[in-house]
């Protein structure tokens, strides 16, 4: 596995590809890719354009592509239509704690799976991999009943606490990386009398920083995008996340065409934090994806 990561890395670095296309094929490929790029960009462009339109222009057909005048106030209006600052705060708080929980637990558990031997460990590893195909919907009802019994419904705890017990996908991911770290490093530390806990915290965690950042970002994307769990667990409107607020907003205004500029502004605002994170951390996104991609 580790060799394959290295191979991918060198291939990417060298830009090693099957064949260099000729000029004609080159142009053809660009032609196709540009059309696809336009299709992929269209939802973003349409959202941005609509979000800045006057209400009357929203209703015009054929559509006005470049809004005039540009109505920045739509964003103010959209984000005060419902107390969005509260929803941003809620979503950010949940996300931050889930990231901490997922990164800590994944790296902790992965150390056990990757570096320590015990009878039954491999069996448990297979069990963990298998749980990835258990549909979320199957676990949802009993989990709901459990949290209801614990009086946790309408708190953020049902969304946060499970992250501290480890997400199999992330554990797997970190385990693959830990297996590539030379055994001599931990042996040397053991000789010096370091406990396994210290080896994990002082050797493994610092060495796996890029991987931990990658899963932190994935965890962020997951929780920021989540809908079903917040919908079920957060019924009190002061506890909503942004996604739930968007859904409520469309319920309230969906039939009314003239509110679509505000809808688009709110949607854009919900995407914005992820875009910022993506801009800063794109390297880790694609690196992470490459690492997961080697699962064979």
Partner 1 sequence: MATVDAPAPQASGKARLSASWREALWCYTFLSPWLLGFLVFTAGPIVAVFYLGFTRYNVFKAPQWVGLENYVGIFTDDRLFTITLLNTIYFVVISVPGQLLIAFTLAMFLNTRIHGRGAYRTLFYLPMIVPHAAASVIFLWLLHAELGVVKHLLDVFGIPSPLWFQDENWSKPGIILLSFWYVGQTMVIMLAGLQNIPTHLYEAASIDGANVLRRMWHVTIPMLSPTTFFLLVIGLVTHFQVFTFAYIMTRGGPLNSTLFYVLYLYRYAFKNFEMGYASAMATVLFVLVLAVTGITFGTSRHWVHYET
Binding residues among 47-76 for partner 1 as defined by CB under 8 A: 47, 50, 58-63
Rule CB under 8 A: choose which of 82, 156, 166, 211 binds partner 1: 166
Rule CB under 8 A: choose which of 1, 116, 185, 252 binds partner 1: 116
Q: Are 184 and 210 in contact (CB under 8 A)?
A: no
Phi-psi region of 131 (alpha: psi -120 to 50; beta: other; left: phi over 0): alpha
The nearest distance, CB 49 to partner 1, in angstroms, is: 9
Residues 144-163 binding partner 1 (CB under 8 A) are: 144-146, 148, 162
| Alpha-carbon 182 to chain mean position | 30
* 132 interacts with partner 1 by CB under 8 A: yes
* 17 interacts with partner 1 by CB under 8 A: yes
Residues 167-186 binding partner 1 (CB under 8 A) are: 168, 171
* 280 interacts with partner 1 by CB under 8 A: no
* 211 interacts with partner 1 by CB under 8 A: no
DSSP class per residue in 233-255? H--SGGG--HHHHHHHHHHHHTT
Which distant-in-sequence residues (6+ apart) come within 8 Å of 72 by Cβ?
Answer: 52
The nearest distance, CB 48 to partner 1, in angstroms, is: 10
Which residue do the tokens 């469309």 mark?
250
| CA distance to 42, 71, 90, 253, 266, per residue, from 55 (Å) | 21, 10, 30, 13, 15
* 224 interacts with partner 1 by CB under 8 A: yes
Q: What is the largest CA-CA distance in the chain?
A: 76
Count of residues that interact with partner 1, criterion CB under 8 A: 110
Rule CB under 8 A: choose which of 96, 127, 185, 252 binds partner 1: 127
Count the neighbouring beta carbons within 10 Å of the beta carbon of residue 247: 16
Phi-psi region of 166 (alpha: psi -120 to 50; beta: other; left: phi over 0): left
* 293 interacts with partner 1 by CB under 8 A: yes
Q: Are 264 and 77 in contact (CB under 8 A)?
A: no
* 294 interacts with partner 1 by CB under 8 A: yes
Rule CB under 8 A: choose which of 6, 70, 136, 185 binds partner 1: 136
- Closer residue to partner 1 (CB): 76 or 124: 124
Count the neighbouring beta carbons within 10 Å of the beta carbon of residue 113: 20
Residues 243-262 binding partner 1 (CB under 8 A) are: 243-244, 246-247, 250, 254, 257, 260
Task: Report d(CA 166, CA 102) in Å as an integer.
Answer: 6
Rule CB under 8 A: choose which of 12, 76, 93, 185 binds partner 1: 12
Q: Are 172 and 129 in contact (CB under 8 A)?
A: yes
Segment interacting with partner 1 (CB under 8 A) among 34-42, 70-78, 79-87, 208-216: 34-42
* 119 interacts with partner 1 by CB under 8 A: yes
Rule CB under 8 A: choose which of 35, 42, 76, 93 binds partner 1: 42
Rule CB under 8 A: choose which of 96, 134, 185, 252 binds partner 1: 134
């Amino acid at each position: 596995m580790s060799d394959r990561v290295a191979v991918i890395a060198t291939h990417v670095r060298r830009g090693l590809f099957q064949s260099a296309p000729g000029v004609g094929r080159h142009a053809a490929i660009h032609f196709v890719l540009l059309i696809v790029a336009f299709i992929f960009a269209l939802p973003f462009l349409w959202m941005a354009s609509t979000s800045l339109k006057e209400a009357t222009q929203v209703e015009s057909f054929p559509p006005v592509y470049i809004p005039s005048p540009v109505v920045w106030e739509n964003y103010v209006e959209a984000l005060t239509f419902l107390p969005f600052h509260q929803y941003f705060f809620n979503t950010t708080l949940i996300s931050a704690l889930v990231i901490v929980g997922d990164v800590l637990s994944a790296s902790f558990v992965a150390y056990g799976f990757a570096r320590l031997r015990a009878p039954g460990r491999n069996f448990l590893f297979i069990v963990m991999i298998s749980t990835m195909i258990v549909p979320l919907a199957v676990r949802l009802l009993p989990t709901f009943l459990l949290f209801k019994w614990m009086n946790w419904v309408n708190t953020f705890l049902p969304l946060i606490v499970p992250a501290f017990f480890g997400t199999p996908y992330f554990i797997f991911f970190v385990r693959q990386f830990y297996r590539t770290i030379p055994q001599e490093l931990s042996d040397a530390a053991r000789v010096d009398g370091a406990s396994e806990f210290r080896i994990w915290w002082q050797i493994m965690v610092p060495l796996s920083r890029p991987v931990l950042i990658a899963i932190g970002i994935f965890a962020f994307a997951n929780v920021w995008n989540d809908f079903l769990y917040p919908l079920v667990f957060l019924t009190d409107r002061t506890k909503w996340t942004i996604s739930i607020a968007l859904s409520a907003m469309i319920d309230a205004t969906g039939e009314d065409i003239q509110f679509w500029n505000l809808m688009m502004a709110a949607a854009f605002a919900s995407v914005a934090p992820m875009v910022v994170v993506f801009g800063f951390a794109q390297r880790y996104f694609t690196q992470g994806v490459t690492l997961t991609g080697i699962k064979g």
